[in-house]
Structure 1
Amino acid sequence: MKTSLSTVVIDQDYVQIPKSEYEQLLSNYQNLELQLSELKRLIFGSKSERFVPNTDALQLGLFTEETSEQTEVVQQQISYNRSKTKKHPIRLPLASHLPRVEQIIEPVHIAQGSIKIGEEITEVLEYTPSRVYVRKIIRPKYALPNDAGIVIASLPSMILPKSNVGAGLLAHICVSKFVDHLPFYRQIQILKREGVVVAMSSMTGWFSKGVTQLEVLYEVLQKAVLQSQYLQGDESPIKVQDNHKNGSLHTGYHWVFHAPVERLVLFKYDPSRSAKVPKDFLQQFSGTLQTDGYRAYQNLSTKHPIKLLACMAHARRYFEKALDNDNARASYAMGQIQKLYAIERKIKERTTNTQTIKRYRELCAKPILEKLHTWMQQEYGKVLPKSAIGKAFAYSLNLWDKLSAYTQDGKYLIDNNLIENAIRPLALGRKNYLFAGSHKAAQHAAIMYSFFATCKINDVNPYLWLHDVFKRLPEHKANKLEELLPQNWKNPAVV
């Protein structure tokens, strides 16, 4: 049996090695080249995945024969006049709901007999630092006649009865950390500038006890999420201090679930990234789950059947990374995916019902998907499996049924971008507070991220919502807690 040989030039010397060994070396080289390219982009490159097709490149050179043409250069002199319109910036009007503090400035010298004929009004946006004050509750005591006893008014319900922090300050602390990404030590410094000294132990204790009070509402949110028929899932790491790991941090995970139809978001912390986490959480769920290609979501053994969808944005990301490796193939794939997203943009502009969306996708998106699938199957055998373009083909082909299944229902989305947007505050927060102090603290963070992400997608002011919840929660009926969830909450100041 003959062994196929390949000739390799090394320092002008010809060396023959087995073809299989040559292909292995070439595959390893391309794999290392891909890793180096990703590292360079991570450090120096742009994070944007926006694709602008190059019309000058021969993208379809793979499928058409090359032609040679003689080009004649003709010089022409063109003259024209161009009129340029200078654009002036338009200042937006100041918000009408803001209170107005009037300042009237009269002229220094007004001649006697002058008559006011009008006025010039200039509005300037001003700011007063947050006001910290002490709420002093006075309850007079009265002795009843005939020694019948003493009467005194009941103390108003408080979120933390044995503490000296009010609902407003507690809500401000939570929003500042998990919405504005201000760690506790920075908040303490801000309060100190206003002459208010708060110990770190006090602030962390207030926060921990406040989140404990919200756990009952978090359970209601979790139940509402599991009752949805369509969920998106993802996970994101978080560093956690662990007493069992001296000198190092444990990597835990926030598992995130988003219900696009009901506009709900749930963060759930777990020390592990194993498949057991989504399996246990989704035991009562029945419907469709959209995720990336992570194997933990595949073949979930739950009480009810779960249909899986894949994320087109993740598939596109693989081809975007392959542009340097095989520009022609990667550009063609991204161009076809770009057409699919153009269809989705038209759907958003028209805001039609789910039946119309499904029909529109069947007419416009399905032919593009079928053409792209056939092309991938034909081209996959022509590339090295470990190359960037090879990995892009493998990812998409392995998940193709799940990638294209979004066309089967109008309520499905083409990708998981909305849940990635919900995770972004977590990524920003990690850069500020670096790690969670314990596994319990990581779960407390998950509770706050759940509520604030749900506030964001429902266009609810997080501070007004949390302040009101802290005031109402101690006496709110347990069977009506869903009224306090952000998507159901009514601002008492407006109602």
Structure 2
Amino acid sequence: MAASENNDDLQSALRLNAELIETVERLQKANEQLREELNLYRSKLFGRSSERHVEDDSQLHLFDLGVQQAENDDVEDGEAIRPRRRRRKKKSEKLPDHLKRKVIEADVPAEQRSCLCCGEEMPIVGTDISNRLDFIPAEFFVWEIHRHKRACCKCKESIAQVPAGEEPCGLTTPIPGSDYGFGVYTQLIVNKFADHLPLYRGEDIFARAGMLIPRNTQFGMLANIAALADVLVELMKSRIVSGDVLGVDDTSVRLQDISLPGKMRTARFWLYRGGEDHPYNVFDFTESRGRDGPAKFLRDFHGHAVVDAYGVNDGVYLGAQDQIFAACCNAHARRKFVEARPNDPVAAARALAFYRGLYKVEDRVREASAADRLELRQNESVPIMNDLHDWLLQMNGDRRVLPKSSIGKAVRYALNQWDELSVFLGDGAIPIDNNATENELRRLTIGRKNWLFVGSNRGGRVAATMYSLVSSAARHHLDVWDYVDDCLRQLASGSTDYERLLPDVWRKEHPESIRPYRDAEQKTRRLTTQQRRVRRREARVA
């Protein structure tokens, strides 16, 4: 009897011990997961925002990528090989010829103009010219229109005068009856949507220039202009959805709820970025992240939408399986491994090495045609993607990789979206990622940090129209002020030749309004990247 009781006690103790071990293991896994999440949040708050990853060339051989060797950046931050850089000679910046010159004559004092030897006055034999850039704050001016009246002073029977509604010398306003000219409207748009200034700051800027324009007046002006420009934005939209490829992304914004004073709710701005054949950016505003807005916008679109893997985006194209096909963003998949790097550096480095090989191919085909891009992808990117897929399957089957760990989540994310992540391999017109759309959406997020919220649904729609104009102009490196001003003048004059106002067409007719320094910046950035890679190879050989 006693032995039986002792045996029961032993069995109970063993079961309790097993339960405790299981509990400890579960808590350890949960603790590890929480630590990973904490490290991720700390990294996002205090770490570098750059996702740049540096790899060892030998990794690419170990992973059998079948691509050209990548340059060695070293795996630890701060340990990268830094070849000695030559000091560049300081260059004096040449001031543009188109700037207005104000000449100041600096001559020798009168008492020093006589020759010390013969006493004759010395003529000017040369002039040294130096330039100094200065700035005059913007200022308002008033068009004072004098409408003359004429009458016969002899018989006093005839009288003639310019009609009150007729604008002389082509002087018109964007909105009939408005007291403000095109320059004021254009500057208001540039302040708000190109320079990201809230209306109250614009109010201060205008006041410093000599004229106070209240915020409510500014919004009314923007709303009227948006109604005028809607037809041009609709044309851009129709061109985008007529293409085969577009990028889609969205961001949240706080919307003031008029029905509940002081309360805010979440609305969305969507960006639809046209492909190379239809290079326009069109914004849309919706009160939620539901599929109704994108489904309406993409109703006539047949092709591939480059998106992230968020469920609502899935709903956009899954709701039209024979019409819209998804091409998922590889930058999102890569980002998951960047986030996993602090907790599992070896596995993350291996995944990032695959992506490094893919993006090296993309760098080489950036300026190529779609056909040439497709050919190189088939030859070099397909083997890399196949190796990456094999490695992901291997990692997914490894019991040591916890499903809820950051590396486990990254692996499952890539596998779940694999078909969509691989779409770019079969079409040279489809980008490898949606970075171009994300980067352009930052224009709005920068503004959001300043103006904080949208005051109404109408305000959101007005902002979407204005951002579409400004963003599309910036995409073509146009002077936003020149482009918007001319568009307003053409639209207000009743012109229906909207084709000429599309930014890519307008650019050809107005080369003087192209900002060449933006093109130069892109070329310099690419050249710098190439030179950095060459220096690394040279340093490694040495």
TM-score interval (norm. to shorter): 0.7 to 0.9
Task: Please give the residue correspondences for 1:279-318 in structure 2 after superposition, counting only pairs within 5 Å.
Answer: 279-298=295-314, 299-302=317-320, 305-318=323-336
Task: Please give the residue correspondences for 1:372-383 in structure 2 after superposition, counting only pairs within 5 Å.
Answer: 372-382=388-398, 383=401
Deviation at 1:280, TM superposition (A): 2.2
- Cα distance between partner residues in 2 of 1:453 and 1:169: 20
- Cα distance between partner residues in 1 of 2:480 and 2:58: 49
For structure 1, which segment, 484-493 or 275-284, has the greater mean C-alpha deviation from structure 2 after superposition? 484-493
Q: Pick from 441, 449, 452: which aligns with 2:470?
A: 452
Deviation at 1:115, TM superposition (A): 4.3
2:162 maps to: 152
| 373 and 169 in structure 1: CA distance in 2 versus 1, 3 angstrom threshold | same
Deviation at 1:315, TM superposition (A): 0.7
Task: Please give the residue correspondences for 1:18-57 in structure 2 after superposition, counting only pairs within 5 Å.
Answer: 21=23, 24-53=26-55
* Partner secondary structure for residue 232 of structure 1: strand
For structure 1, which segment, 284-293 or 137-146, has the greater mean C-alpha deviation from structure 2 after superposition? 137-146
Deviation at 1:116, TM superposition (A): 3.4
- Cα distance between partner residues in 2 of 1:374 and 1:279: 35
Deviation at 1:214, TM superposition (A): 1.6
Residues 146-182 of structure 1, C-alpha deviations (whole Å, 9 max, x = no match): 9566342522442122221111111101101111111
- Cα distance between partner residues in 2 of 1:289 and 1:23: 44
* Partner secondary structure for residue 504 of structure 2: coil
1:137 and 2:145 are equivalent in the alignment: yes
Residue 101 of structure 1 aligns with an amino acid whose one-letter code is K
The percent of aligned pairs where both chains have the same amino acid is 29
| 370 and 400 in structure 1: CA distance in 2 versus 1, 3 angstrom threshold | same
Residue 217 of structure 2 aligns with an amino acid whose one-letter code is S
1:191 maps to: 206
| 408 and 167 in structure 1: CA distance in 2 versus 1, 3 angstrom threshold | same
Unaligned runs of 5+ in 1: 1-6, 8-13, 62-82
| 492 and 412 in structure 1: CA distance in 2 versus 1, 3 angstrom threshold | closer
Q: Pick from 110, 115, 136: which aligns with 2:113?
A: 110
Deviation at 1:440, TM superposition (A): 1.1
| 468 and 107 in structure 1: CA distance in 2 versus 1, 3 angstrom threshold | same
- The answer on whether the counterparts of 1:358 and 1:410 sit within 8 Å (CA) in structure 2 is yes
Deviation at 1:58, TM superposition (A): 13
| 335 and 138 in structure 1: CA distance in 2 versus 1, 3 angstrom threshold | same
Residues 371-392 of structure 1, C-alpha deviations (whole Å, 9 max, x = no match): 0110110111221111100110
- Cα distance between partner residues in 1 of 2:406 and 2:347: 11
| 388 and 59 in structure 1: CA distance in 2 versus 1, 3 angstrom threshold | farther
Equivalent pairs counted in the alignment come to: 460
Task: Please give the residue correspondences for 1:74-113 in structure 2 after superposition, counting only pairs within 5 Å.
Answer: 86-108=87-109, 109-111=112-114, 112-113=120-121
Q: TM-score, normalised by structure 2?
A: 0.79
- The answer on whether the counterparts of 1:236 and 1:254 sit within 8 Å (CA) in structure 2 is yes
- Cα distance between partner residues in 2 of 1:38 and 1:485: 43
2:503 maps to: 486
| 56 and 226 in structure 1: CA distance in 2 versus 1, 3 angstrom threshold | closer
1:162 maps to: 177
* Partner secondary structure for residue 234 of structure 1: strand
Answer 1 or 2: which has greater helix percent.
Answer: 2
1:332 maps to: 350
Residues 322-355 of structure 1, C-alpha deviations (whole Å, 9 max, x = no match): 001211110110011011111111122xx22221
- Cα distance between partner residues in 1 of 2:426 and 2:185: 46
For structure 1, which segment, 383-392 or 19-28, has the greater mean C-alpha deviation from structure 2 after superposition? 19-28
2:519 maps to: none
1:410 maps to: 428
2:4 maps to: none
Unaligned runs of 5+ in 2: 1-12, 64-83, 115-119, 514-542
1:66 maps to: none
1:77 maps to: none
Deviation at 1:87, TM superposition (A): 3.7
Q: TM-score, normalised by structure 1?
A: 0.86
Residue 43 of structure 2 aligns with an amino acid whose one-letter code is R
| 260 and 101 in structure 1: CA distance in 2 versus 1, 3 angstrom threshold | farther
1:356 maps to: 372
1:200 and 2:215 are equivalent in the alignment: yes
1:213 maps to: 228
- Cα distance between partner residues in 1 of 2:466 and 2:36: 38
2:518 maps to: none
